[in-house]
């Protein structure tokens, strides 16, 4: 499995895992740095989730990373690892191939050594056709193409940006009803007015037309 390959390669580079559960394999690299490979997700074997501590503010972020402010949306099994303690921000790196895994290892070495990390971009084939992407393949998060959050009433909480990114990635940047990628918005499955929350599970992408048709229904 690809997740096993990721664990083996990271272990070869940094030493044997220090902690294994049914959900994660963790490596403590020194006293202040931990790497956690998630084993309970994703369900498919095409890619792996690797958790790292957030880099210094002056450093660039990997293109294939999702940002988590403090513990918002974090996998709780990452908390025991140094640098990933509860309350601290973190990165979830989405690794899909050997090239990205090699870049991840180089990036980790740089952050550990307090050096400027190398450029860390998603590996993509120049011949890849965006129209051929299916719902079974990981959709990269292009923040610039995500819809702007709509003005909200003072009584409604803002949807955290990390949650928006997760929903956008999960739904593939398309309306879940008609598959359109135009005029998208974040819709509450259980309406906010009926007690719905700003969680990944309760949010979905809908185009403007489908959102209007849905109205205030569940």
Residue 113: phi and psi, rounded to 5, are: -90, 5
Average pLDDT, the chain: 80
pTM: 0.58
Q: What angle do CA 211, 214, 218 make, to 5 degrees?
A: 120
Q: Determine contact, residues 45/51, Cβ cutoff 8 Å.
A: no
- The Cα 131–Cα 125 span in angstroms is 14
Listing DSSP states for 48-90 in one string gives EEEEEEPPPTTSPPPTTEEEE-TTTT--GGGTTSTT--TTS-E
* 199 has a pLDDT exceeding 50: yes
Q: Which of 51-60, 82-91, 120-129, 142-151 has the highest mean pLDDT?
A: 82-91
Q: What is the pLDDT of residues 54-78, one digit of tens each?
A: 887 667 778 778 877 766 678 889 9
Q: Determine contact, residues 102/61, Cβ cutoff 8 Å.
A: no
Give buried/exposed letters for 118-153 (b at 16+ CB in 10 A, else e): eebebeeeeeeeeeeeeeeebeebeeeebeeeeeee
| Helix (H/G/I), strand (E/B), else coil: 100 | helix
Q: Which of 96-100, 109-113, 209-213 has the highest mean pLDDT?
A: 96-100
> How does DSSP classify residue 177?
T
How many residues in total does the chain contain?
218
- The Cα 64–Cα 107 span in angstroms is 12
* The architecture CATH gives domain 2-112: 2-Layer Sandwich (3.30)
CATH 3.30.1460 positions along the chain are: 2-112
């Amino acid at each position: 499995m690809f997740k096993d390959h990721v664990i083996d390669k990271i272990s070869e580079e940094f030493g044997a895992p220090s902690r294994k559960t049914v959900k994660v394999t963790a490596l403590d690299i020194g006293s202040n740095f931990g790497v956690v490979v998630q084993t309970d997700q994703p369900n498919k074997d095409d890619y792996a989730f690797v958790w790292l501590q957030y880099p210094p503010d002056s450093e660039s972020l990997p293109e294939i990373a999702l940002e988590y402010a403090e513990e918002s949306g974090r996998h709780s099994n990452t908390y025991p690892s140094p640098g990933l303690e509860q309350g601290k921000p973190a990165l979830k790196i989405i690794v899909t191939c050997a090239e990205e895994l090699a870049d991840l290892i180089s990036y980790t070495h740089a952050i550990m050594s307090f050096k400027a990390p190398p450029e860390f971009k998603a590996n993509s084939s120049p011949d890849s056709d965006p129209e051929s992407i299916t719902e079974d393949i990981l959709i990269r998060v292009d923040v610039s193409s995500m819809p702007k959050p709509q003005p909200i009433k003072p009584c409604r909480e803002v949807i955290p940006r990390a949650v928006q990114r997760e929903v956008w990635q999960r739904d593939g940047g398309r309306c879940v009803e008609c598959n359109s990628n135009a005029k998208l918005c974040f819709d509450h499955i259980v309406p906010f007015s009926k007690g719905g929350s700003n969680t990944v599970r309760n949010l979905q992408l809908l185009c403007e037309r489908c959102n209007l048709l849905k109205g205030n229904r569940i």
